[in-house]
Chain A
Amino acid sequence: MSVEHGHPLRFGVLLTPRDGERAGALAERARMSEELGYDLVSFRDVPGGLDPWTLLSWAAARTARVRLTTHARAHGAGADHPAVTARAAASLDLLTDGRVELVLDGADGTLSETVDVIRGVWAAAERSPLRFDGEHHRLTGAERGPAPAHNLPLWITATTGGAQALRVAGRKADGVLLVPATGDAPLAPDPGGVLLAPDPGGVPAGPGTGDGLARAAALIDEAATAAGRDPREIRRAARITGRFTPESEGFLTGPPRRWADDLLPLIRDHGLSTFILATDDPGTLRRFAVEVVPALRAARGEVAERTPASLFVRRHRREGIDYDAVPAALAGTAIEPGDAGFARVRSTYMRGGSPGLVLRPGTPEEVGQAVRFARTQPVKLSVRSGGHGISGRSTNHGGIVIDLSRLHAIEILDKAARRVRVEPGARWSDVAAALAPHGWALSSGDYGGVGVGGLATAGGIGWLVRQHGLTIDRLRAVDLVLADGTRVRADETEHAELFWGVRGAGANFGIVTSFEFEVDEVGDVGFAQLVLDVTDTAGFLERWGAAMEAAPRDLTSSVIIGRPSPGRPLIGQIMAVVNSGDARTIIDRLQPIAATAPLLDHSIQVQPYASVMHVPHRPHDGQGEPVTRAALADHLTPELAAAAGRLIGTGLTYFFQVRAVGGVASDVPPDATAYAGRSANFSLVAFGSSRRGLDAAWDELLPHFNGTYINFETDLRPERVHDAYPGPTLRRLRALKRRYDPDNVFRDNFNITPSDP
């Protein structure tokens, strides 16, 4: 006998638009259903009544938790094109963060093709356009995507006698919704006491044997097995109707106990796990939720609830990862290559990736579980916050990524002390926006899309660095998960040495789950973009460097120079922030740097710091691997400026940038944090396309440098670790590593090995 399939029990409602009823009343019933604890809301399609998809989208915006399902308008005369249906469903799923399920009517022969087209559109990770040459649908190279937010379940409705639909469901669907054959007629018990849809042309059911449900289940299972699927992949649901009456009068007609008695065998013996109650009567809705549902849950008892991964998902799994051992708390939000959301999480801003598993913990405790699991797996481990890593390889091929984007809270802890708690998955644009209403800011970097986690564990050279220091200089405490999965808090007194190490080499010791900063008072700033002719590259760099060293600390600026093209002047771009809203001060500060080369164009705006940092959120879709070199320099000496000019002249770098540091950042002693390059007035980075070419050219410049800032460097040679962490710093870091991560679990970013290599 077919039995429990291990799916969670779910209860839904089917609401019916009624003539003359205020439209909003229906959406209200949807909300009430959510409040009553139902898992699903759906709407019936009544000719001449409200359009179900519109209604569903409306209801989605007015609810927060409940899942939403509707019949797609995907077949018959009033059909949408299935590709449009697919995008609509994915769109609502994105808007609701994954609360949508789609039901296709199994009534006609187009069904199987419709499923294929919809899944084809959702397969956004495939780079080829969608072609489909079916009997009913023809697509000649449609764009794919968007992928829904989650593996959006596709249900197929069928009567227990609808062999064709049941077979398609077995082969292709995520679920079967059993409905009565004659429209609104309630499902009725067959003589054996088992629910059976009136089955017009079907074989009459005998008592206890060969009933409609068992036949339907057999059809589904057979088709599933033939397609190589595990029949348990397919969830079974039934639409039910009934009446609460004082006495037991019949199937689902009686007191709540009777209802529970009628439904329980369907769960136990027929593997049904979802029931959709068709009613608009508030009393019935409430009683079912309050009296029947708990009784059923209790009677069902403990069942290991674990929905088996679909064939599709299993086929895309990578070797070396024990997917079945993923802790239950993480399994629900984890994303694997076969999952809908994979296209959105595989790559980072700078890199293409194809990890085998992306874990997305939602609490520090879950981060601990993720670390404990990941360290037992013989594959690469990457840690990702905002995904803007350059030295930090926050994606990989075939390994595990711990993605902290769900940990993105920003909260004010103490107004008077300007103490703020920020989680690693927040972006710096979010931080700026959250602090702005208080008249505060925290200097971070020049780009708001960058994540908190990678920057605040390494340094943070930002727009206010000369006046307010590095980001790590404003850090007062961290919570982190260590290599063994335990959690600690580190600050100046507790785990003080660890706190020292986190500020400059944090990625080596654990995963920071919370940062506490003391932020600064910052209002409007002057933001300037100057375009200059820097054909005299060396002279310009020297002059700009001198101007920056002489400038008051409220000015910070950076220079970007591109690849020269023959016969054209070389263009340099200065971006500068003056921490003042006063036009006179802004102009005063900018004049000396504007005079460092012929000025071609400029724009200056006074705006809130948060506007300078504002960038819209976009999922990453990087490709390939970045090639960069980075360094710190105390001064832009004539020799360094000349050498940099020659490097730019070779064309080996298409993006050469120098940022001003110094100021307050240099007031901090070099041994106060693991970021040792305190004497540097400048941070340099070059992006190239040839690893070998750029390395050779950059290595020539090494004598002019004094250390490096890890966050812009992609050279993997061990010397770089010594550049970033000079002798005494490195010795302390190794001691810390031995204490906190002796097995070197965290090794993907400027790895400090526990002992000298």
Chain B
Amino acid sequence: MPDYGHDLIFGSFIIPANAAPHEVVALAQESEAAGLDLATFQDHPYQSAFLDTWTLLSYVAARTERIRLSGNVINLPLRPPAVLARAAASLDLLSGGRFELGLGAGGFWDAIEAMGGRRLTPGQAVDALGEAIDIIRGIWDAGERSRFRVDGTYYRVEGAKRGPAPAHDIGIWLGAYKPKMLRLTGAKADGWLPSLPYIQSLDEIAEANATIDAAAVEAGREPAAIRRLFNVTGRFGQGGDRFLDGPPEQWAEQLAALTLEYGFSGYILMADDAATIRTFGEQVAPGVRELVARERAARVSGAGR
């Protein structure tokens, strides 16, 4: 089973509720203080109870110093790719290279259409996402002198000025489950970002990894070029036998096993209180790092023997 060998990152997944905007910002700051590497917010622009995720990300970026930020995941159907690319590069520049682009094809089509967005079938939406990734990378390619033109089925760009170029290579992470989307992830993305509640079994993860890896190879890429991240839910407490339901040490063991056997190198916890975020950052993250480092070292020396 694969371990792609990436360094480990730990993050929070914070509900961007607009009822108490300053508490949302404070939780991102808590995440930074707890030593987490990443703070993320879901993006459902049709949801009136949420803050606009883009605005929030930009605001939070200016109120933090070290932590990386991402949408989890940005809703492409309501965020035109050329605008998104420029905004993402801008945020990366402003934040000193702290922005990553979690991106999704969209799923709640009734709500998207109610907002004035275009309804697509799930298959079309994946194709549209593929086009969008090309546009986003094209805009970021500011060194390229030619005017930028794309004549896609879903998106058209007519001679847009490219740029700005982001401060670092922004990772494009896709929330993917079905084969077509997984293949797109392998072919074009920098990361795979599924969520625990939507995953039925460990076998499903293994299969998804295999699909991504095959698509990567077919596109002439290393499977390790695609980081595997995981949105997880769980509970700290006395302990049960369910996944991520127990003391921090138990979490650490379970997550380390996922890294070593299923290739995940990023864990993003859905948590809306500071105490949970702190436990995750201060107790779980170092625990997983230590266990994984030990096992990786053992594997290397084992292989050398």
Chain A residues engaging chain B, CB cutoff 8 angstroms: 23-24, 27, 47-51, 53-55, 57-62, 73, 77-84, 87-88, 90-92, 94-95, 117, 124, 129, 132, 137-146, 611, 616-619
Contact = CB atoms under 8 A, between A and B. Distances in A.
27 contacts: A23-B93, A23-B94, A24-B94, A27-B62, A51-B83, A53-B55, A54-B87, A57-B59, A58-B58, A77-B160, A80-B78, A83-B45, A84-B79, A84-B115, A88-B55, A90-B52, A92-B59, A94-B18, A95-B59, A117-B116, A132-B116, A137-B116, A142-B111, A144-B48, A145-B48, A146-B49, A611-B275
Given A23-B90, A48-B161, A129-B114, A91 B51 contact: yes
Interface residues of B, number: 51
A55 B61 CA distance: 11
B142 A48 contact: yes
A460 B260 CA distance: 55
Contact of B90 (A54, A80, A117): A54
A738 B160 CA distance: 76
Interface string B109-126: 001011111000000000
B63 to A, nearest CB: 5
B82 A78 contact: yes
A54 B94 contact: yes
A80 B59 contact: no
Contacts of A137: 116
B164 A142 contact: no
Contact of A51 (B45, B86, B117): B86
B246 to A, nearest CB: 16
Interface string B54-78: 1110111111000000000000001
Contacts of A618: 19-20
Given A48-B163, A58-B61, A61-B62, A91 B94 contact: no
A54 B101 CA distance: 14
A58 B59 contact: yes
Contacts of A51: 83, 86-87, 89-91
Contacts of B91: 51, 54, 58
A141 B59 contact: no
Most buried by A among B21, B91, B161: B21
Contacts of A61: 58-63
Nearest to A144: B48
Given A84-B115, A139-B114, A142-B115, A73 B93 contact: no
Contacts of A129: 114
Given A49-B164, A77-B158, A94 B116 contact: no
Contacts of B89: 51
A51 B161 CA distance: 13
Given A50-B93, A146-B18, A618-B20, A88 B59 contact: no
A92 B55 contact: yes
Nearest to B24: A95
A141 B52 contact: no
A618 B60 CA distance: 20
B116 A139 contact: yes
B114 A94 contact: no
B21 A95 contact: yes
A50 to B, nearest CB: 4
A143 B62 CA distance: 29
Contacts of B48: 87, 124, 143-146
A95 B63 CA distance: 12
A58 B93 CA distance: 11
A430 to B, nearest CB: 12
Interface in B167-205: 167
Contacts of B60: 61
A140 B115 CA distance: 7
Contacts of B111: 142-143
Contacts of A611: 275
Contact of B78 (A62, A84, A92, A146): A84
A341 to B, nearest CB: 13
A616 B23 contact: yes
Contact of B164 (A50, A60, A82, A139): A50
Contacts of A92: 52, 55, 59
Given A60-B59, A140-B114, A48 B78 contact: no
Contacts of A619: 19
B184 to A, nearest CB: 24
Contact of B54 (A54, A59, A145): A54
Given A94-B18, A95-B25, A143-B48, 17 more contacts: A49-B164, A53-B55, A54-B90, A61-B63, A77-B160, A80-B80, A81-B116, A82-B116, A83-B46, A88-B54, A90-B18, A137-B116, A139-B114, A142-B46, A616-B19, A616-B20, A616-B23
A142 B48 CA distance: 9
B254 interface: no
Contacts of B116: 81-83, 117, 132, 137-139, 142
B62 A58 contact: yes
Contacts of B80: 78-80
B279 interface: no
B48 to A, nearest CB: 4
Nearest to A78: B83
B289 interface: no
B264 to A, nearest CB: 30
Contact of A50 (B94, B117, B275): B94
Contacts of B227: none
Contacts of B96: 24
Interface string B94-111: 101000000000000001
Nearest to A23: B93
A119 B25 CA distance: 26
B162 interface: yes
B25 A617 contact: no
B257 to A, nearest CB: 29
Contacts of B23: 616-617
Contacts of B162: 48
Given A54-B91, A58-B62, A91 B56 contact: yes
B84 to A, nearest CB: 9
A110 to B, nearest CB: 12
Contacts of A132: 116
Nearest to B272: A616
Contacts of A77: 82, 158, 160
Contacts of A27: 62, 94
Contact of B115 (A47, A53, A83, A91): A83
Nearest to A96: B59
The 5 closest A-B pairs by CB, nearest first: A57-B58, A61-B62, A48-B163, A143-B48, A48-B161
A146 to B, nearest CB: 5
A54 B83 contact: no
Contacts of B22: 95
A53 B88 CA distance: 11
Interface string B1-26: 00000000000000000111111010
Contacts of A50: 86, 90, 93-94, 164
